[in-house]
Each structure stands twice: as structure tokens, then as C-alpha cells.
Chain A
Amino acid sequence: MPTGALIEFTNISKRFGGVTAVNDLSFTVKPGRVTGFLGPNGAGKTTSLRILLGLVAASSGTATFGGVRYRDLPHPLQTVGAALEAATFHPGRSARDHLGVYAIAAGLPRTRVLEVLTQVGLAAHAAQRVGGYSLGMRQRLGLAYALLGDPGVLVLDEPINGLDPEGIRWIRGFLRDMAAEGRTVLVSSHLLSEVQQSVDDVVIIARGELIHLGPLSSLDTDAAAQTIVDSPNRDALAAALTTAGISFSIGRTGLLAATSDPALLGHLAFEAGVELSVLHRQKAGLEDSFLTLVGGGHSL
């Protein structure tokens, strides 16, 4: 069983001309866990991952796998499997030949090609030219490439894009399985909800800078709570809230009262003799915390 290596970003910066794409980014990714690398589009996720894989040169800083830079790995495909964007194929080459080329380059047995195609559910299309593949099939082929060397580290850039619901469910289980086997799994996404059910840890960046780092549960904050309350006689309810000095706004499902205490509202209504039809606290979800962190989510 391949063992995962620790991924370390140390003070990584990247400038393209005068634009700073990544600014002094440092974090580690542990083996045996699924780490979500999150941020809005344009936050610098893909650039960071390409620096990690030696495809883009950092302006400063280092990124390593167990202390070794990608280009110094003696057996790169057997150590790290990476799937970046979906369109890195010659359209006239079959999936089998596409993987075959890189199996040869990495010194892997040709039998791995059919094994990984089977693993991602493409065995039936192995001889088909990739030009005719759907987006979801291309994503799976990219994943098959990452798995070719049975690596201990997986680096996946937006692997869920373009997958159908069945594929999404499959990849969630797949990510969990990989981490359970002790591998290091780093998976990027611009939507927390896409990976929320799979990740243990989150690394959140925006505008090229680290915003938040920690276990998924660290996003579960309760700061901005409101309570939704409604009544068949909404005007009477509104009057009662105004009298009690509780500010509110009118929402789709009722009045959004600025308090985290439903019992207080229940008591007010009882006192005022107003019948209630809705009363529950609205908890800020993980996604809300995420959007707050990355700057209101206006770019989403």
C-alpha cells in the first residue's frame, strides 16, 4: 500500500508581470485526510497547484512532497498523481494509448492502463478516441492518469466539474477511500458544498492569500444568527416585535428577527396573543461562513 507524503507549501509567491497571483502562501497537507483547497475562481488555486507540481515556477518560496520538490522526485508518477484541467489530451489518441504513452515514460507496466481505466469506469471506452469523450469522461480519464502510478499523494484540481450526479457520488466515496488507505488527498474546488461531504480539513484562499486553515468543523461558526418567525396575522406580529424593540426584515418565509433566541419571540407572541405559524432559528451554514471568509462571495 503506498504511503502518503506530507505536502508543504512554504512562503510561495507568484507574480505574472505586475499581477500577484499568489502571495506568501504557507500550509501543510497531511496524509490520511482529505484536504479541500477552496477559494473563488481566480483566487490562485490552480497556480498554486501548478507550482507544487513543477509546471509553473514560483517567484519565491518552495513547495515539496515529504521535503522533496516535484522535479527532484525519483519516480514522480509513482509518488504523486495529479489531475488538472480536463482537456490535456490529443483528441486523435485513444484513452488506452494516451495513458500508455505516460506509462512508458514513467516505466510502469502496461497492465496498469486497463486497471486504472477499469477503476474509473472507462474500460468499455478504452479504445475510443478521446476527441469523442464527454466532459465527464474526460474528467474520469484525467483521474485515471493520476492513478496510473498508484501514488501515495493525489492532487486534484476541480475534479467534480462536469461530473453527473452519479459521478459526483462516486468521486466522494473514492476520495474517502483514498484517504482511508493512508494517502494524502488535496482537492480544490470553488464551491464548499461540492466537497463538504468529503473533506476533513479546509485550506481557504482568496486573492492569492491564505484566509483560513483548519478542520472542516472550524467553519461551523454561529455568529450571525437570526430567527424566522411568522404568523397568519403578520401585521400583529410585526407590531409586537416593534413594541419589544426587536428589529426585523421581511423575508420570503416570514419575518427575519435579529435575535438568536426563539423562546424570546415565542413569549412575546404569547403575551400579545398572536398565533405563530413559523418559529425557528436560522443557523449560519458552512457555506455562509465560507462566503463571508472569501469576501461576500460576490465573485461566485
Chain B
Amino acid sequence: MISFLRSIAAEFAKIFTTRLWWILALVLFGYIGLLAGGLAVLFSGLQTGVISPDTVNTGGGELSGFGSLPPIIYSFASSIGYVFPVLIGALATTGEFRHQTLTPTFLATPRRGVVLGAKTVTLLLVGAAFGLIALAASVGIGGGIMSAFGVDALLLDPETWLLVARSVLAMALWAAIGVGLGVLVPSQVASIVIVLAFTQFVEPLLRLAASFLEVTAKIGNFLPGAASDALVGASIFNLMTPAGAAPLDWWQGGLVLLGYAIVATVIGYAVSWRKDVT
């Protein structure tokens, strides 16, 4: 047990003694702040009539069809920002292979399962911290702009803060998925390509394609991004896809994400982590 806690402390030290974490955190904050802020300006402007609907081609959609605006803006933190915890999780594992730091790591802690468990716990917490950073951007900047336009930012609504809590949980799980991906695909370049290609192109297209038929929509609900959005309870993606099958409950979405993390990590442990370090 003591060796597990020491391992966790060592994994934290690894994250915070290189520059990657704050570079990713900074980009995450800027990216989500820009998106949430920009769309808050657009939608609040449309809703309050400051921006004329005629100046924006909304494709004939009714403004009322957006439903409540603030949850969608706030959920940018996870629906768009989830790629950041996946990246830091994947880099935390693949970096050990790439820089051959598995050698000193396993010399200091020969029980490899302990190290991988410690890394997962550490990245869950780092992912949660990334969630807080992303939410500071989406709620802080997005909510501030909505308030400035006179739109109710729902900051006193407990539902908003439940969404925030579920978003933090989702971001934590995404970082654990990153750790799993990193042991599954130890090549750093391959891992990064998979993260970017899957999150930015493959999954959004699959979700869109799956949503056209009810039976595929049910399967589509189990895609990691869809499960994450179900866990959070709101997403810009839900607006962009035709009404298909009802999404999973929030807790089901959470369990699906947890499942992806566990399966990837366990298989990765067998295919790379416990192999010879040469």
C-alpha cells in the first residue's frame, strides 16, 4: 500500500516536472474559452435580438430549437475539450516507452501493476484538474458573456453545477482512457495520430452516420464521445445530429467510459507493459 502511494506521488512528480502539462492546460483554456465565448456571443446575440437572425444563415432552424443555451455552452469543456486529457494520459504512458524511463521506473518499483495503477489514479486526478480548467473557461467566459447580454446564465441553478461535476468526472475518465491507449499503442506518434484522428474525424462521422437509423443509433450511443456527452448531459453534438435513439442515462455513459478505460488498460498491460524492457 505504501509503495502504491509512493508510486502515485512519483507519477505526479513526473507530470509536473516537464512542461507538457501547463502547455496543454493553457491551450485547453484558450481553445474552450474562445469557442464558448464566441458561441455565447452568437447565440445570446440572436436570442436577445442584438444580432438579427437574418444576418446568420441558421439553415431555417428555429432558435427555440436550441433549448436552454447555457448547458450547451458549458459542456464545450468536455464535448470539445476531452481530447486534452486523452492526450496527456497517452503521452504520460508513451513517453515512458519513448524515453526509456521504464527502466528507472521499474527498478524503483519492480511491481509493474502497481506502477500502472498509480499512473491511472494520477491521471484521473490530472484529468479532473483539466476538467476544472476547461470549465473555468466555458462557465467563466461563456457564462460571463451570456450574463452581459442579459441572458440568464443559470449560475444559481443546481442543475448547472451538477453538469459541472459530471463534466469533471468525464474529463477524469478521458485521461484514464488516454493511459489505456498509451499502453495499448506504446508508439507515441501512433498514439497521438489515433487520438486526433479518432476524436476529430472518425467518431463525429460515426456518430452522425449511426444516428440515421434507430438500431445503429443505439449502438452509436456506446461510442466513447457519445457516452461522454450522455454522462455530461448536454453537448453541441446533440444539436447537430437528427433526433435518433434516446441517449444513455448519465450514469450509463459514465460506466461505458470507465469500461473503455479498464479494457484498454488491461489489454495494454498484457501486450506492452509487462513485456521485456530492453
Contact = CB atoms under 8 A, between A and B. Distances in A.
Q: Is the interface of B mostly helix, strand, loop or mixed?
A: helix
A88 B13 contact: no
A71 B111 contact: yes
A84 B10 contact: no
B6 A88 contact: no
B18 A90 contact: yes
Nearest to A99: B104
Given A90-B18, A92-B18, A104-B6, A76 B99 contact: no
Contacts of B111: 71
B106 A55 contact: yes
A55 B6 contact: no
Contacts of B95: 90
B107 A53 contact: yes
Given A55-B277, A101-B14, A88 B110 contact: no
A126 B132 CA distance: 33
Contacts of B103: 55, 84, 88
Interface string B36-59: 000000000000000000000000
A93 interface: yes
B10 A88 contact: no
Interface string B1-38: 01100110110011001111000000000000000000
B276 interface: yes
The range of chain A's interface size is 20 to 34
A199 interface: no
Interface in A80-117: 82, 84-85, 87-94, 97-98, 100-102, 104-107
Interface residues of B, number: 28
A105 B277 contact: no
A77 interface: yes
B100 interface: yes
A50 B277 CA distance: 8
A145 interface: yes
Interface in B99-158: 99-101, 103-111
Contacts of B107: 53, 55, 76-77, 82, 102
Contacts of B104: 88, 102, 145
B109 A105 contact: yes
B278 interface: yes
Contact of A97 (B2, B13, B99, B277): B13
A106 B7 CA distance: 8
A132 interface: no
A198 to B, nearest CB: 23
B17 A100 contact: yes
Given A77-B107, A100-B13, A102-B104, 5 more contacts: A50-B278, A55-B107, A70-B110, A94-B17, A105-B9
Interface of B: 2-3, 6-7, 9-10, 13-14, 17-20, 95, 99-101, 103-111, 276-278
21 contacts: A47-B278, A50-B278, A55-B103, A55-B106, A55-B107, A55-B276, A70-B110, A87-B100, A90-B99, A90-B101, A93-B18, A97-B13, A101-B17, A102-B10, A102-B107, A102-B108, A104-B6, A105-B9, A105-B109, A106-B108, A107-B2
